[in-house]
Structures are given as C-alpha cells and as structure tokens.
Amino acid sequence: MKGSEMAASPVRHECPEALLVLADGTVFRGRAFGALCAEGTVATGELVFNTVMSGYQEVITDPSYAGQVVAFTYPHIGNYGINAADEESDHPQVRAIVVRDLVHRPSSWRAEGNLEDYLAAHGLGGISGVDTRRLTRHLREAGAMCCALGVADEATLHAAARAEPGTEGQDLVGSVTTKTPYRAGSGPLSIVALDYGIKRSIVAGLAAHATVEVVPAATPASEVLARHPDGVFLSNGPGDPAALGGLVDELSQLLAKVPIFGICLGHQLLASALGGSTYKLTFGHHGGNHPVKRLANGVVEVTSQNHGYAVAADSVSGADVTHVNLNDGVIEGLAVPAMRCFSVQYHPEASPGPHDARYLFAEFVRMMQGAA
C-alpha cells in the first residue's frame, strides 16, 4: 500500500496483553503484536537497546542483529512504514522488537506497507506499550541480557529467558553469510568482500568505486587471493568474534598480501588476526549518534554503531589507534600502514545516516591504488 491508500486500512483488533521477562526476573508489561499475538508464542534472544530516531527497518534487517531482541528508545516506531529500498538484507534478522508506541497507519509517500504486517509476514512480532525508558535504564545498569516475550505466563517466559544462550561464545556468522558468491558494481578496481553478515548499503558503498565480489565467510584465503583482488573487505556481522578462530586463521594469511578494510565485526577480526583480543561490552553500542574522535586531525564524527564487543586496548601491538569513542574511550579504528590494512568499529555507510565517515570508502580506494 502507498500514500492515501493507508487511510483505507482496516481497523485492527487489539492484541492480547503480553509480558517481557528478562533473565534476571525483571518484568515489563505491554501488548503483543505481529506473530507474537498467538497464545503461547514466545520469542527469545539477547536484549539490547538502540537509540536511532529513524532507520528502524535498516536496524531490523541488519544481519548483525541475528540472535537479538531490539528495544527502540525512540517512542514512535513504524511512523513512516516500510519499503523494499530500506532493507539491509532479504528478511528481518532480529528475533523480535520492543517499542513504546507502534504506529499502525504510517504517513509517508515512500511507504509500501506497515511495520506490523511486515514482521508478521516473516513470522515475527514484538511487544508495544512498554516503558522503554525504564527498560533502557535497567539495561544500562545491569547490562544486555537474555529475555523472553510473548503471550504466556511469567514463569514460562522467565524459564525461556534463562535458557536462551545469548551471543557470548556463539558463532552466528554461519547463519547469515551468503551461500554462494555474487557480484555488484562495475568499477575498474576489484574487491573481494568476505560476508560475515554484510549490509546491502555497504555493498553499495563499495560498488560505487569498484567491482565487488561478495563471498561466503568461510572462503579460504587461497581462494580469495586466487581472484587477484585489488583489495579485500571484511564486513559487519553478528555474534562473538572470539568464537570465530577459523575465520581469523584464514584472515591472517591475507595480511600484507593485499589491502584490507574492515568494518564492525571485520574490525574485530582484523584486530584478532593482528594478535589482539576482544571483550564483551556491558550494553554495547547501538544507535546513530555516537561521537568518535579521529585522532589524525581531532575531528569528531557522529557515527552509526551496532556492536556488543570491542577490541581490547593495547592488545594489538604494532597497530595505530586511529579513532576513539568519546563516550567511553573504546577503540573505534586501527591501522597498520606497513601491511596496508585498516578498520573501524562503527558504520561509515550509515544507512540512513549520519554520513560523517563515508570518506573511509575513498581512503580504501586510494590504498588499493597505491596512494595511501
């Protein structure tokens, strides 16, 4: 549906009351929506909060959110509907969402449907009417934790939350990576992108400069080099980087042989291949408003972020720290010029924004051209 057709949408029946129960026993009340309206239907996952004011569809379809339930701090979600152009993958990747107010009748000329129907069509849903301010304050103090939500009794949901493994120690990349290689772009440079859960907007950012071949995460280094790329890109993705030793081993065989650029999980895996270590953040960085300082010139960039793990300070010997998070000092960028590799923890493609860091794609191009 588009535009004025939205006004003709049928009046929705109110969904039943539902509960969100955290692993520590904290309970939040609301109403189920989407596929969670069915009695006894329960969704579980690691609960995190995201502070974006727009871009909820990009968040929901970001493969980095595999295994997680996302609570939006912005109170009105669904207000401009959904459309195919905003999808970061071919289906929602979250387990469920938690919102204060779910908008059933979106208002936007771009809208092709509403958020609840979109989630329900994929067998997903969430809970609305939740005091998301209280929930966010709790997660900031107690940390991200597993949860369960649905139309079920408190004891059932608490048991389900406690049984959920979360993301720590989990290899979730295999569930989101492409099964077969595919190409995008037609530029003179060639890039092999290792897909750990790559977003479509990242592929578009690379394809604006080069011919990109996206390959499965487990592609051996020998096969990557056999393609004779001008550069290798390491994508974002879900789960714990410490659980991806096999991918790190292959990546270590690419160092100093070809220019490398990593984003998010790709940043963590590059640091690991360089001898560094990672750790789980208390509640992660999820939002579109994180200030990051670029140490080379002191410029502060407003960045889009989505990660629950970070590179440990001083763990990567021989690497230059290029960016730091001004909120908590987390390493946001690394570079080893002698090996022609660099990475950032945040998302320079930043669909739908901000776009302060898109210059990094041009820096990768200069590196591949031998100018950096």
Q: Given a cut of 50, is residue 168 above it in pLDDT?
A: yes
303: which DSSP letter?
A: E
Edge-first strand listing for the sheet containing 278-294: 182-184, 210-216, 189-195, 231-234, 260-263, 341-344, 331-336, 320-325, 278-294, 300-311
Q: Which is catalytic among the residues 264, 267, 285, 323?
A: 264
Choose the catalytic residue: 46, 164, 332, 349: 349
For the chain, how many structural domains are there in total?
A: 2
Tens digits of residue pLDDT in 155-166: 999 999 999 999
Look up the pTM and report it: 0.93
Asked whether 272 and 354 are in contact (CB, 8 A), the reply is no
Write the CATH number for 354. Answer: 3.40.50.880
Q: Is 323 found in the same domain as 286?
A: yes
- Select from 163, 187, 209 the last residue of a domain: 163
How far is residue 193's CA from residue 74's CA, in Å, rounded to a whole number? Answer: 33
> pLDDT tens across 39-52, in order?
889 999 999 999 99
Q: Give the side-chain half-sphere CA count within 13 A for 352.
A: 12
pLDDT at 3 over 60: no
Give the model's confidence band at 13: pLDDT under 50 very low, under 70 low, under 90 confident, else very high.
Answer: low
Q: Is residue 153 part of a domain?
A: yes
At 271, is the secondary structure helix, strand, or coil? Answer: helix
347 annotated active-site? yes
Q: Are residues 236 and 259 in the same domain?
A: yes
Let me know if 158 is a catalytic residue. Answer: no
Clarify whether residues 293 and 233 are in a common domain.
yes
Looking at the structure, tell me whether residues 207 and 338 fall in a common domain. Answer: yes
- Residue 29's DSSP bridge partners are 19
Rounded to whole angstroms, how far apart are CA atoms 107 and 176? 32
Assess whether 131 and 254 both reside in one domain: no
**C-alpha span between 89 and 166 (Å, rounded):** 22
Residue 372 confidence (pLDDT) above 70: no
List all residues 6 or more positions away from 10 whose beta carbon is below 8 Å from its beta carbon. Answer: none
Judge residue 304's burial from the number of C-beta atoms within 10 Å of its C-beta, 0-12 exposed, 13-18 middle, 19 or more buried: buried
Would 12 be classed as within a structural domain? yes
E strands along 57-123, which residues? 68-72, 76-77, 96-98, 101-102
Kindly state whether residue 168 falls inside one of the protein's structural domains: no
**Domain range for residue 17?**
3-163
Catalytic residue of the set 138, 286, 307, 347: 347
Q: Indicate if 116 belongs to the active site.
A: no
